[in-house]
Structures are given as structure tokens and as C-alpha cells.
């Protein structure tokens, strides 16, 4: 069916229920991807018994797969034309299929041979990456199709970030206890049943987002745009390139550290149950940090500079964690952890709020509007960073003699400790420096929107 004619005024306020529904979309995303980021690597090594070297290679090879499917799905979503819009149908259809693959990914076969387990891991993980891409890229792009009002977009992304941070902390708090309740001594069974539950939540949240949002910002051109032309247009979009580098660094530092968290508490501090305590401490700072973004943005008037400020704060606090332990110095440890989470959640809101504004800048600069295509490369940058971070961690641990479910040697413990604190701390500060050079502010953005509206008026 042909898409409905969008409203003429696209610089409008978005209903509260739509902001909430959009936020719940990221709740669903995190019950898949953050669960994967925090638990899949240790599930592979400590539950399935897959060698660390094989896990490291998977993380690298899967990014070549991402390099193909991310831009492809982005372009396909831009060209989707239904009565529900361009992006929302992907949530309706893609969510339940991805949930099924998520369950298959966490279906452990520890009695299989190493080759069989490794092949199964590669196939299910690559299918999961594809499924998640089919949902997450249209979901992320949807924000720019809801309104062109910069303040409304900031509020939409704040809703997204607050919901995401609450979801992440809930996942981190309840996952280990649920595995124990559902599986008892059988961790493989516990992981599988938890994943079934999370797959249902993933689907329900995206269906809610589908039902309560409405796309009103139409693409500037209805004709198909060659990929080469889109790449050239993206290369001329300097704010977008800065955001892309920021997302690459974000993926590298955040997801690499997330994959390391369980290893840190289990093998350095000697008690993986501390991960649950750590996550509980982060709950309130997560909400405060995400909610603080609109206020800091109003003060600075520049989303990139806002993200830069939050990234710098995150880096300083994460660096400080190296000097404290939750066992021997719990008060300063948890204080630094709480502050780092507050700053991180502000950053997380800001970095995603940047992307829709870069789309407007690109249309103003080149005449080409390709929301899904641009978001696809942002997603790819984030995933490449994630791959490098997790693969490097796994490779180094393997070379130093990591042995699952054993007391680790001093070298392995040292790497895990630094991967928890000093390395991500430095990378967060580098991220802050990069994003400081982002130039779009409130005034320049408003001029861009006015000029785009004038052009469309002339064409009409």
C-alpha cells in the first residue's frame, strides 16, 4: 500500500504516549543486545566451554557481516513504503523473528565437540546480528521521522535513554538470580529460560513502539539513490562524520568494558555476585544522568559539546575505579561507579540525539535525505567498536592463558582489571576530545530547518 501523506507541519510536538512508546523500544533493544553484550561472552566460555580464541575470532568476523547488512537494511528501510510508514513495519515483523534467534543463540550444547559448538555459535550469532539490525536500525531512524523540532527530539531521546538505562540495570540486577532460580545447578537451562523471557519482552516492547508512534517526516526524494551517491553525500556531512567517530569510540570503550564486567567480578574480585550489587548501585544514577541531558543541552546549546562534557566526566570516574575495590574499599568504589554511570547515561542520551540533526544537515548540504542509510553507518561504527573491544579482550586473555572457571594467573587478572578501569577511562577522554569539535548548535539547526522548509515550499 502507498504511504499516507505526511502532515505538512513536521516541526511539531510529539504526544507523551509516543515518547514513552519510543523509549520502550530501547527497553526491548537492551533486553536483547545489552544482555548479549554483558553475558554472551562469558556464556560461551564458562557455560558452553568454547575456547576463548574462537570467541575472539567470531567477534571480528561478524563485523564483516555487519558491514554488509547494516547499510543494506538502512537503505531498504528508507525505501520501504507502507501505510504504516517506512520504519515501523520493521519493528512489527522483525521483533518476534529476532527473539526466536536470540533464544537459539543461548541454547547451550556443552556436550558437543569443540567444532560443532563453534559452528553453532558462528551461525546463530550471525543470524542474531542480522535480526537485531533489522529491528534496531529502523527503530533508531524512527526518531527523525517523528518530528523535526530539536527540543522534541531531545525529549524523545531522553525518554529513550532513561528507559534504556532502567532496562540495562534491571537486566544486570535480575539476570544472575533468574539463572539460578530457573536452572539451579544447571546454568545452561537457566540461561535458556531467561532468554525465552527476554525474547518475549523484546517483542512486546517493539510492538508497543509500533502501535503508539507515527511517522510524519517524509524523505525528500522518492526515487532510489545509488549507494555511491549516498556515501559521497555522507562524506560531505562533517557533523555526521564526527558523530560516526564518536559512535566508533563509544562501541569500543563501552561494549568492550561491558563484556569484561562479569570476568572482573568473578576472577579479580572473586565473587560474581558483586555484579548484581554493582548494578543495583547504578540504578538511580542512570536515571538522573539520562534525565540531565535536556538541561545541560539547554545550557550549552550544542549536543556534541554536551556529549563531550559527559564523556570526560565518565572517563575521569572510570579511571578512578582502578584505585579502589568493592571488597576492600566499597564506599569510594561504589561512589566512583555511581558518578561514572551518571555521566555515561548523559552521554548515551546525547550521542543518539545527534544523529537525526545530522540527517537534516545532510539534506540541507547535499539535497539528499537518507535517514536509514546514515543511521546504518552509525550502528555499524558502534558495532565495529564493540567487535574490536571484545575481540581484543578475548584475544589477549587467550594469549595470557585464560582458563574458564579456574583461578587466573596474575597477568590475566591484570588485563581484566585494566579493561575495567584505566583503558576505558582513557578512551572516554579521547571520545570527549573528538565530540568537542561538533558544530551544529540550536541557532544553526534552526536556520537549516527554515531553509529546508522554504525549499519544500518552493517545490510545492
Concatenated DSSP letters of 135-152: HHHHHHHHHHHH---HHH
Q: What is the pLDDT of residue 382?
A: 79
- Domain with 161 in it: what CATH number? 1.20.1250.20
Q: Is residue 9 a part of any domain in this protein?
A: no
Answer for the pair 66, 384: CB distance below 8 angstroms, yes or no.
yes
Q: Is residue 233 a part of any domain in this protein?
A: yes
Please, which contacts does 186-195 make with residues 24 or more away whose CB atoms are closer than 8 Å? 187/47, 187/108, 188/47, 188/48, 188/108, 188/110, 191/39, 191/43, 191/47, 191/106, 191/108, 192/103, 192/106, 192/107, 192/108, 194/106, 195/35, 195/102, 195/103, 195/105, 195/106
Q: Is residue 240 a part of any domain in this protein?
A: yes
For the chain, the first-to-last Cα distance in angstroms comes to 23
Answer for the pair 206, 139: CB distance below 8 angstroms, yes or no.
yes
Cell matching residue 131: 535480526
Cα–Cα distance for residue pair 460/458, rounded to 1 Å: 5
Domain that holds residue 336: 16-459
Alpha-carbon distances of 31 from 4, 39, 188, 269, 399, rounded to whole Å: 32, 11, 18, 26, 32
Binning the chain into helix, strand and coil, the percentages to the nearest 5 are 80, 0, 20
| CA dihedral over 207, 197, 16, 156, signed as positive or negative | negative
Phi, psi of 82 (to 5 degrees): -135, 170
Judged on CB neighbours under 10 Å (0-12, 13-18, 19+), 441 is middle
Map residue 369 onto helix, strand or coil: coil
Q: What is the pLDDT of residue 104?
A: 97
Q: Which residues pair with 85 in a beta bridge?
A: 82
Cα–Cα distance for residue pair 188/35, rounded to 1 Å: 15
Mean per-residue pLDDT pooled into runs of 10, the chain (460 residues): 44 87 94 90 93 88 76 84 90 96 94 91 93 92 85 85 89 94 93 97 97 81 70 88 92 89 95 93 91 91 95 98 96 97 93 87 86 77 83 92 93 97 97 95 90 78
Angle value at C-alpha 254, between 53 and 41, nearest 5 degrees? 30
Cα–Cα distance for residue pair 78/225, rounded to 1 Å: 10
Q: What is the pLDDT of residue 219?
A: 60
Cell matching residue 10: 513536521
Judged on CB neighbours under 10 Å (0-12, 13-18, 19+), 406 is exposed
Q: What is the pLDDT of residue 197?
A: 98
Closest CA to 26 of 204, 230, 167: 167
Q: Is residue 135 a part of any domain in this protein?
A: yes
Q: What is the pTM of this model?
A: 0.78
Q: Is residue 279 a part of any domain in this protein?
A: yes
Identify the DSSP state of 223. Answer: S
Cα–Cα distance for residue pair 128/121, rounded to 1 Å: 10
Q: What Rg, from alpha-carbon coordinates, does the chain have?
A: 22
Q: Is residue 5 a part of any domain in this protein?
A: no
Domain total for the chain?
A: 1
Q: Is residue 312 a part of any domain in this protein?
A: yes
Identify the DSSP state of 400. Answer: T
Amino acid at each position: 500500500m502507498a504511504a499516507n501523506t505526511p502532515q505538512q507541519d513536521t516541526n511539531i510536538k510529539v504526544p507523551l504516549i509516543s515518547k514513552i512508546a519510543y523509549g520502550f523500544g530501547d527497553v526491548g533493544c537492551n533486553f536483547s543486545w545489552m544482555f548479549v553484550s554483558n553475558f554472551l561472552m562469558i556464556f560461551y566460555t564458562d557455560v558452553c566451554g568454547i575456547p576463548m580464541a574462537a570467541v575472539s575470532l567470531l567477534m571480528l568476523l561478524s563485523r564483516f557481516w555487519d558491514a554488509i547488512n547494516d547499510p543494506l537494511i538502512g537503505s531498504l528501510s528508507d525505501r520501504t513504503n507502507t501505510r504504516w510508514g517506512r520504519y515501523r513495519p520493521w519493528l512489527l515483523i522483525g521483533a518476534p523473528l529476532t527473539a526466536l534467534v536470540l533464544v537459539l543463540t543461548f541454547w547451550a550444547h556443552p556436550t558437543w565437540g569443540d567444532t560443532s559448538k563453534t559452528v553453532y555459535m558462528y551461525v546463530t550469532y550471525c543470524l542474531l546480528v542480522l535480526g537485531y539490525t533489522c529491528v534496531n536500525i529502523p527503530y533508531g531512524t524512527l526518531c527523525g521521522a517523528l518530528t523535526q523540532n530539536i527540543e522534541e527530539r531531545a525529549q524523545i531521546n531522553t525518554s529513550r535513554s532513561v528507559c534504556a538505562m532502567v532496562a540495562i540495570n534491571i537486566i544486570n540486577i535480575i539476570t544472575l538470580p533468574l539463572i539460578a532460580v530457573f536452572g539451579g545447578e544447571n546454568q545452561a537451562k537457566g540461561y535458556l529460560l531467561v532468554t525465552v523471557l527476554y525474547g518475549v519482552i523484546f517483542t512486546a516492547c517493539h510492538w508497543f513502539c509500533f502501535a503508539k508512534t507515527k511517522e510524519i517526516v517524509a524523505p525528500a526524494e522518492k526515487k532510489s539513490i545509488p549507494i555511491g551517491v549516498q556515501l559521497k553525500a555522507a562524506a560531505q556531512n562533517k557533523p555526521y562524520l564526527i558523530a560516526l567517530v564518536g559512535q566508533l569510540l563509544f562501541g569500543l570503550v563501552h561494549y568492550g568494558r561491558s563484556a569484561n564486567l562479569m570476568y572482573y567480578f568473578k576472577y579479580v574480585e572473586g565473587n560474581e555476585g558483586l555484579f548484581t550489587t554493582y548494578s543495583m548501585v547504578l540504578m538511580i544514577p542512570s536515571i538522573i544522568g539520562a534525565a540531565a541531558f535536556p538541561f545541560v543541552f539547554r545550557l550549552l546549546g550544542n549536543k556534541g559539546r554536551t556529549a563531550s562534557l559527559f564523556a570526560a566526566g565518565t572517563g575521569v570516574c572510570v579511571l578512578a575505579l582502578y584505585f579502589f575495590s568493592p571488597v576492600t574499599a566499597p564506599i569510594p568504589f561504589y561512589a566512583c561507579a555511581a558518578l561514572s554511570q551518571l555521566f555515561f547515561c548523559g552521554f548515551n542520551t546525547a550521542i543518539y540525539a545527534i544523529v537525526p540533526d545530522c540527517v537534516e544537515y545532510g539534506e540541507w548540504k547535499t539535497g539528499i535525505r537518507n535517514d536509514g542509510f546514515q543511521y546504518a553507518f552509525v550502528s555499524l561504527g558502534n558495532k565495529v567498536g564493540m567487535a574490536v573491544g571484545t575481540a581484543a579482550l578475548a584475544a589477549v586473555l587467550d594469549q595470557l592463558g585464560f582458563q574458564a572457571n579456574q583461578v587466573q594467573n596474575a597477568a590475566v587478572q591484570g588485563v581484566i582489571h585494566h579493561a575495567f578501569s584505566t583503558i576505558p577511562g582513557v578512551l572516554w577522554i579521547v571520545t570527549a576530545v573528538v565530540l568537542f569539535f561538533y558544530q551544529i548548535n540550536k541557532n544553526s539547526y534552526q536556520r537549516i530547518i527554515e531553509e529546508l522548509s522554504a525549499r519544500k515550499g518552493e517545490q510545492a
